[in-house]
């Protein structure tokens, strides 16, 4: 019998004002009001169906993502979180994050979302350059982004995050660093700073823009990392930086191979059963099917042979050392099944090892895919 890990809840709101050309998330452009009340009813019915998977555990973190969750009315958010609290216990200090766009209307709703229980807001800024924002298909301007950040700072939330991208079309080193400087000036406790990647099935995928080359991208990362470190931010995950004590607890639970229920269109879940089996769930992607009450699209049990890859794919995204006991605790497998792979990883200089921990090296971070392939 395994120790069941911490349990989180992910809630997906699938609508946005317009689809960004780089976005491959499950989002659907919607003109006018979204069906807040009807969708919340379905989310809560979806949660009801998933409750047995919780095995009596309480929820330690909630993350409301999208799409654009801040299109949900304040009353809709209140009813949603009240409904969640009525169905499953929340830890007293549960982190409840909501993604938001810096558009004026949504920003004005921040305080109402806070009253509903949201205590952490993640603001999708992406850039402070009007030209770059237009190129990325964003509907807000630099001043709206700054206003939203100042509003979040003034609410006395537990924390807030700014999402920022680099490696944008025709972006110079100086432009990328200028974005970071403007973000740092707004003093968010947490900064997600990630490289734009071109995904298939997106507008950029079919008509790729000219992106900085590998050398330019390395310069941007190296100098940006230096800038963030000097400002007191610590990198704790591949693309996440935080002031000490302000890491995103929800994401930490993902990367530490914790469990999470996923409700809403296209939401994914991962749940450990008391007998050690791992179940992965995926919900119906399109709002039309989902709102006909067809919530579960597919589920499968993770085979023992897949568990080492899944464990390390998550764990090695974090820069912290991996406690060796957690491999057995969270997968139900003996460490002996990965001895050969660990020996190779050590020989290649991808990781170091002590009796208690494995630690990914700087070299391992650069060759993360090669490291993970050892466990496939």
**234 and 372 co-located in one domain:** no
Domain count, the chain: 2
Structural domain includes residue 287? no
27: helix, strand or coil: coil
166-176 pLDDT tens trace:
999 999 999 99
Structural domain includes residue 267? no
Confirm if 8 and 60 have CB atoms less than 8 A apart: yes
**120 and 227 co-located in one domain:** yes
d(CA 323, CA 255): 13
**59 and 156 co-located in one domain:** yes
- Residue 104 confidence class, pLDDT cut points 50, 70, 90: low
Residues 240-254, mean pLDDT to the nearest whole number: 98
The domain in which residue 222 lies consists of 7-253
DSSP label of 324: T
Would strands 15-16 and 28-29 be described as parallel, antiparallel, or unpaired?
Answer: parallel
- Residue 20 confidence class, pLDDT cut points 50, 70, 90: confident
d(CA 92, CA 114): 16
Structural domain includes residue 93? yes
pLDDT at residue 284, as a whole number: 98
193-241 pLDDT tens trace:
999 988 888 778 778 888 899 999 999 999 999 999 999 999 999 999 9
54-84 pLDDT tens trace:
999 999 999 999 999 999 999 999 999 999 9
Residues 84-111, mean pLDDT to the nearest whole number: 89
23-34 pLDDT tens trace:
777 788 887 789
- Residue 185 confidence class, pLDDT cut points 50, 70, 90: very high
**94 and 220 co-located in one domain:** yes
Can you point out the beta strands (E) in the chain? 7-13, 15-16, 28-29, 59-66, 90-100, 120-126, 159-166, 190-195, 234-237, 240-242, 259-264, 268-272, 278-283, 296-302, 322-323, 351-353, 357-360
Residues 293-317, mean pLDDT to the nearest whole number: 96
112-153 pLDDT tens trace:
999 999 999 999 999 999 999 998 888 889 999 999 999 999
**167 and 316 co-located in one domain:** no
**109 and 234 co-located in one domain:** yes
Mean predicted lDDT score pLDDT of the chain:
94
Residues 337-364, mean pLDDT to the nearest whole number: 97
What's the angle, vertex CA 82, arms to CA 80 and CA 88, rounded to 5?
A: 100
The whole-model pTM stands at 0.95
**179 and 323 co-located in one domain:** no
**181 and 90 co-located in one domain:** yes
- Residue 2 confidence class, pLDDT cut points 50, 70, 90: low
The Cα diameter of the chain in Å comes to 58
pLDDT at residue 137, as a whole number: 86
Confirm if 298 and 280 have CB atoms less than 8 A apart: no
**222 and 315 co-located in one domain:** no
Percent pLDDT > 70 in the chain is 98
pLDDT at residue 198, as a whole number: 81
């Amino acid at each position: 019998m395994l120790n069941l890990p911490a349990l989180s809840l992910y809630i997906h709101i699938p609508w946005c004002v317009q689809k960004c050309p780089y976005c491959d998330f499950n989002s659907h452009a919607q003109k006018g009001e979204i069906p807040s009340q009807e969708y919340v009813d379905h989310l809560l019915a979806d949660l009801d169906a998933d409750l047995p998977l919780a095995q009596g555990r309480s929820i330690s973190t909630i993350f409301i993502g999208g799409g654009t969750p801040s299109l949900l009315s304040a009353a809709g958010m209140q009813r949603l979180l009240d409904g969640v609290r009525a169905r499953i216990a929340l830890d007293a200090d549960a982190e409840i994050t909501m993604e938001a766009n810096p558009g004026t209307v949504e920003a004005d709703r921040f305080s109402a979302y806070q009253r509903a229980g949201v205590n952490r807001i993640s603001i999708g800024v992406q850039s402070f350059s009007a030209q770059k924002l237009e190129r990325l298909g964003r509907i807000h301007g630099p001043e709206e982004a700054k206003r939203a950040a100042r509003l979040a700072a003034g609410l006395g939330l537990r924390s807030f995050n700014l999402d920022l991208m680099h490696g944008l079309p025709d972006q110079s080193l100086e432009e990328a660093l200028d974005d970071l400087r403007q973000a740092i000036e707004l003093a968010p406790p947490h900064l997600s700073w990630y490289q734009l990647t071109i995904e298939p099935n997106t507008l950029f995928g079919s008509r790729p823009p000219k992106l900085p080359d590998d050398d330019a991208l390395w310069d941007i990362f190296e100098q940006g990392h230096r800038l963030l470190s000097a400002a007191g931010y610590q990198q704790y995950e591949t693309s996440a930086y935080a002031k000490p004590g302000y890491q995103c607890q929800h994401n930490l639970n993902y990367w530490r191979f914790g469990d999470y229920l996923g409700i809403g269109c296209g939401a994914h879940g991962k749940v450990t059963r008391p007998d050690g089996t791992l179940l992965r769930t995926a919900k119906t992607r399109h709002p039309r099917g989902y709102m006909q009450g067809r919530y579960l699209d597919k589920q499968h049990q993770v085979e023992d042979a897949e568990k080492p890859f899944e464990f390390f794919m998550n764990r090695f995204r974090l820069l912290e050392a991996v406690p060796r006991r957690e491999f057995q605790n969270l997968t139900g497998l003996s460490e002996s099944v990965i001895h050969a792979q660990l020996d190779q990883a050590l020989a290649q200089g991808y990781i170091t090892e002590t009796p208690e921990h494995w630690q990914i090296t700087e070299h391992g971070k650069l060759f993360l895919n090669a490291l993970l392939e050892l466990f496939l």
